[in-house]
Amino acid sequence: MKTLLSCSLLGVCLTFATISNAQEPTADPKGAFGRKIVLGPDDKAAFDPPPADFNMRRDDIPHGRLEMVEYDSKSVGTRRKMQVYTPPGYTRETKYPVLYLLHGIGGDETEWQRFAKVDALLDNLIADKKAMPMIVVMPNGRAQKNDRAEGDVFAAAPAFGAFEADLFGSVIPTIDERYATLPDRDHRALAGLSMGGGQTLNFGLTHLDQFAWLGAFSAAPNTKPPATLVPDPAAAKKHLKYFLITCGNQDGLINISQGMHAFLKESKVPHVWHVDGQGHDGVHWASSLNEFVQRIFR
């Protein structure tokens, strides 16, 4: 896990360094992306880090199932993959809420599982009654014909924008058709890391009719300006039941989340702003996910 994690992140950082070294110094492996980090008084932790064993598989509790699912994407025109977690005891007799969980620029439908061990994390919280039983869908947010994280992964940034059509046109309809879901906004959450954090803000804040719970972790520069995303703060305030924004204080992308937090604070849109001591890394994302899933669908 450790090797996979650092290789994957290093891959992203090295690619970034290659495309950006004209203007910026080489990104460090912690993910400063060669950017200057300026911290303010609000940039502090809102919750404790998870316990050491939070995502370790426990043999004494029931386990959910992780499966790789294929669907026909109308907007991309290809057969695409997504990974789906169903909770322990999943049955069609019950209806479940759904969390859609989006990956970063160097990842795909398998990335969250590698970084956070999503199945073990959820199994543990559900067994301890700290999270509601839920379905977690991990789609591929790079909506283009070749959706593998190959070559210059930054060149595929526009495909992360194009994913909006796939998410609403094919991913959510497929999940609602094949699984025992509660298919409404109160039972649908959207969260993601980095590019997936930006997608969460871009798609979630502009589709308040679709999601009541949002989590953006280390949101990337694909994030649209806050005033564009929240033209009606009163509507966001009314509709969002839980809104978590997190970033590490060693993460060079923190100015994006800081800007979102400042706008929301000024506009009086309730949200939780959490800054820990991490960089742009899997420790931060697993910790943020662990917090987010305990707060949603309640």
Report 131-190 residues binding ligand FER (CB under 6 A): 154, 157
Q: Does 222 bind ligand FER (CB under 6 A)?
A: yes
Q: Which is nearer to ligand FER, 113 or 222 (CB)?
A: 222
Q: Phi and psi for 201 in degrees, rounded to 5?
A: -70, -45
Q: Which of 107, 176, 88 is nearest to 137 (CA)?
A: 176
Structure tokens at 170: 């094919």
Q: Does 12 bind ligand FER (CB under 6 A)?
A: yes
Q: Does 104 bind ligand FER (CB under 6 A)?
A: yes
Q: Does 256 bind ligand FER (CB under 6 A)?
A: no
Cα–Cα distance measured from residue 106 to residue 147, given in angstroms and rounded to the nearest whole number:
11
Q: Which stretch binds ligand FER (CB under 6 A): 45-53, 131-139, 168-176, 220-228?
A: 220-228
Distance between start and end Cα atoms, the chain: 32
Count of residues that interact with ligand FER, criterion CB under 6 A: 12
CA 236 and chain centroid, separation:
19
Q: Does 246 bind ligand FER (CB under 6 A)?
A: no
Task: Tell me the closest approach of the beta carbon of residue 157 to ligand FER, in angstroms.
Answer: 4
Task: Tell me the closest approach of the beta carbon of residue 69 to ligand FER, in angstroms.
Answer: 23
The one-letter amino acid at 188: R
Task: Tell me the closest approach of the beta carbon of residue 177 to ligand FER, in angstroms.
Answer: 30
Q: Which is nearer to ligand FER, 159 or 236 (CB)?
A: 159
Q: Does 84 bind ligand FER (CB under 6 A)?
A: no
Distances (CA, A) of 174 to 60, 72, 103, 161, 203: 33, 9, 19, 20, 18
Burial class (CB in 10 A: 0-12, 13-18, 19+), 239: middle
Q: Which is nearer to ligand FER, 131 or 201 (CB)?
A: 201
Q: Does 86 bind ligand FER (CB under 6 A)?
A: no
Q: Phi and psi for 74 in degrees, rounded to 5?
A: -65, -40
Binding site for ligand FER (CB under 6 A): 12, 16, 33, 104-105, 154, 157, 194-195, 220-222
